[in-house]
Amino acid sequence: MSPEAEAIWAGLEFRAPAMFRLIEPLSADQLVWPPQHGANPIAWQLWHIAEVEDNWVRELLEGQARRFPFGRSVREAHQKPYPPKSALLDYFREVRELSRQRLAATSPTDFGRVVMDPHFGALSVRALWAGVVTSFAWHAGQIALTVRLLHGGAPMPGAA
């Protein structure tokens, strides 16, 4: 893996263990508990992290169709029950391994290649991966906040 790919990988993996420590003890009801004001539950956040990480890279960098292993996008999750926690965690881990492989296959010069995103416009491969890292960090932080709200606002062990 190139140094740039290693830095991106480190950004993806740095907070993942803390996120797992927060999610693993949660019950099925806690996983789908809806925070106030229409905020998304933890199950949605976890599903969204994996779906964005997989499909953004799949579509823009590999030119492949998006995939939805649960038969629908997370954006349609309000219409049906969420997949079980074990399936969501398996999906996350599968996508994370794909990201490791994708990064390992990216040459240093590939990071400067430009792709077109319908929302953000022209992005370098480097910027797209930065978006994947920041999307993960953003939503993992929302998971940590939601876990804290589930427990009455008290800080949770392993949240650092």
Q: Residue 112: which CATH number?
A: 1.20.120.450
Domain that holds residue 43: 3-150
User: Residue 156 domain-assigned?
Assistant: no
Q: Is residue 123 part of a domain?
A: yes
Domain membership of residue 155 (yes or no) is: no
What span, in angstroms and rounded, lies between the C-alpha atoms of 129 and 153? 33
Q: Is residue 56 part of a domain?
A: yes
Q: Does a structural domain hold residue 157?
A: no
Number of domains in the chain: 1
Radius of gyration of the chain from Cα atoms? Answer: 16
For residue 157, what pLDDT is reported?
A: 55
Is 126 a domain residue? yes
What Cα–Cα distance (Å) separates residue 101 from each residue in 6, 39, 71?
11, 33, 24
What local confidence, expressed as pLDDT, does residue 37 receive?
A: 80
How far, rounded to the nearest angstrom, does the alpha carbon of residue 153 sit from its chain's CA centroid? Answer: 24
pLDDT, averaged in runs of 10, over the chain (160 residues): 97 96 95 86 96 96 96 84 96 98 97 96 98 96 94 63
Q: What is the Cα–Cα distance from 23 to 29, expressed in whole angstroms?
A: 12
Give the model confidence (pLDDT) of 43-78 as tens digits: 999 999 999 999 999 999 999 999 999 999 999 887
pLDDT for residue 156: 57
pLDDT of residue 64: 96
Query: Which pLDDT value is given to residue 35?
Result: 86
What pLDDT is attached to residue 58?
96
The conformation of residue 82, written as its DSSP 8-state character, comes to P
Domain assignment of residue 31, yes or no: yes
159 assigned to some structural domain: no
Q: Give residue 154's pLDDT.
A: 66
